Homo-oligomer: A and B are copies of this chain.
Amino acid sequence: MTKENTFFGVKEIARRANVSIATVDRVIHNRSGVSEKTKKKINDIIKELDYQPNILASRLASKKIISLAVLIPKVSAETDFWEAPLNGITRAEAEIKKYGVQIELFFFDLNDPNSFNEQAGLILEGHFQGVLLSPSFIEEARKFSEACHKLKIPFTFFDSDVPEQHNLCYIGPHLFQSGYVGAKLLTYRLKEKQQVAVVNISKETDNYNYIQIEEGFRSYFKDHSLPGEILRVNIKDTDSLSVTRQLTKILNDNENIKAMFVTNSRVSAVATFLEKSGRSDISLIGYDFLKENIKHLEKGFIDFLICHKPEEQGYRGVMSLYETLVLGARVEKVHFMPIDIITKENQAFYKN
């Protein structure tokens, strides 16, 4: 059992073109030093044979390493969400290290746009061949990506998107539709005259992500002409006291609230409140497969969690750069993640 020679290599191309391997190599990497005539001849043969370079041999022979930069929020005390993408990134790194790819991590503070700028500046000075970033701050991200574009450094957005043309690709959820799914689940068993509240627990209420999610959520109500006003609760202070106070007030003012939708991973704060105040009659839906959330899911105070595979986002984000830079493959410009539904019953088998 020996490898069949179905694949042609540079050697065969060189033979057919009556040139040396080196000349073929020059054409493939379009380096200079080849006459237009021979170049065309070789390119024709390459097309004819549908030549696919042997990546094994290529990476083996190449002494170059490829350095990628990753720019993401640091894991904070407030939420350990960013652990998951980081795991995916690390997994990808381990997988492609042997192909000569290195990854350097840069972290910024989600409460401080300046830290984003600082780290972005370091990346621009660092001579990286590719960048993966979460554009949490839209304006800052836009400036940075403009700079990358000028330096011809490919970059991938993930977790959330920025309307932009120059990025290599976006990997993340379709946020509008995600909110839409949330509304479906929340209203699935809702009875008439029961009311619904959207809860946003965050210092930045006007974050682009939250807006998209809420639009999707409200659209579902419109599309299905569900009656009743959807209440909106903004909790800017994320400490448990503020949360308790605001939720208490809302529930007192609106006795018919029987379902709540939290637009981010802070849903566990609401669950804690519901548990303490003994309100097991309220359906609760929120985001992300975090330990704290799973705990409340198991206790029954969260009905569903929606999740967009953050670990896989990190993994695929790195891989999108690897595929373009090393394999020279084209990648899809937009790669939407599934909108996963997690319940107490299936959470044990969920892959983040």
A residues contacting B by CB (< 8 A) are 1-4, 54-57, 59-60, 63-65, 67, 98-100, 173-174, 177, 180-181, 184-185, 188-189, 220, 336-341, 343-346, 348-351
Contact residues in B for A59 (Cβ distance below 8 Å) = 56
**Closest chain B residue to A304, Cβ basis:** B341
With contacts A56-B59, A64-B3 known, is A348 near B177, CB below 8 A? Answer: yes
Among A56, A339, A340, max chain B CB count under 10 A is at A56
Q: Report whether B100 and A3 are in contact in the complex, using a CB–CB cutoff of 8 Å.
A: yes
Least distance between A117 CB and chain B CB atoms (Å): 26
Contact of A346 among B1, B55, B177 (CB under 8 A): B177
Among A65, A173, A188, max chain B CB count under 10 A is at A188
Contact residues in B for A63 (Cβ distance below 8 Å) = 2-3
A184 CA to B100 CA, complexed, in Å: 48
With contacts A337-B349, A338-B350 known, is A65 near B1, CB below 8 A? Answer: yes
Contact of A180 among B3, B345, B351 (CB under 8 A): B345
A337 CA to B340 CA, complexed, in Å: 14
Contact residues in B for A188 (Cβ distance below 8 Å) = 188-189
Q: Report whether B98 and A55 are in contact in the complex, using a CB–CB cutoff of 8 Å.
A: yes
Least distance between A221 CB and chain B CB atoms (Å): 13
A340 CA to B346 CA, complexed, in Å: 8
A98 CA to B56 CA, complexed, in Å: 8
Contact residues in B for A67 (Cβ distance below 8 Å) = 1
Least distance between A134 CB and chain B CB atoms (Å): 19
**Closest chain B residue to A55, Cβ basis:** B98
Among A63, A98, A99, A350, max chain B CB count under 10 A is at A98
A349 CA to B189 CA, complexed, in Å: 24
Given A54-B60, A173-B349, A336-B349, 13 other A-B residues pairs in contact with their CB atoms under 8 A:
A1-B64, A55-B98, A56-B56, A56-B57, A56-B60, A177-B345, A177-B349, A181-B345, A185-B343, A220-B345, A338-B350, A340-B340, A340-B346
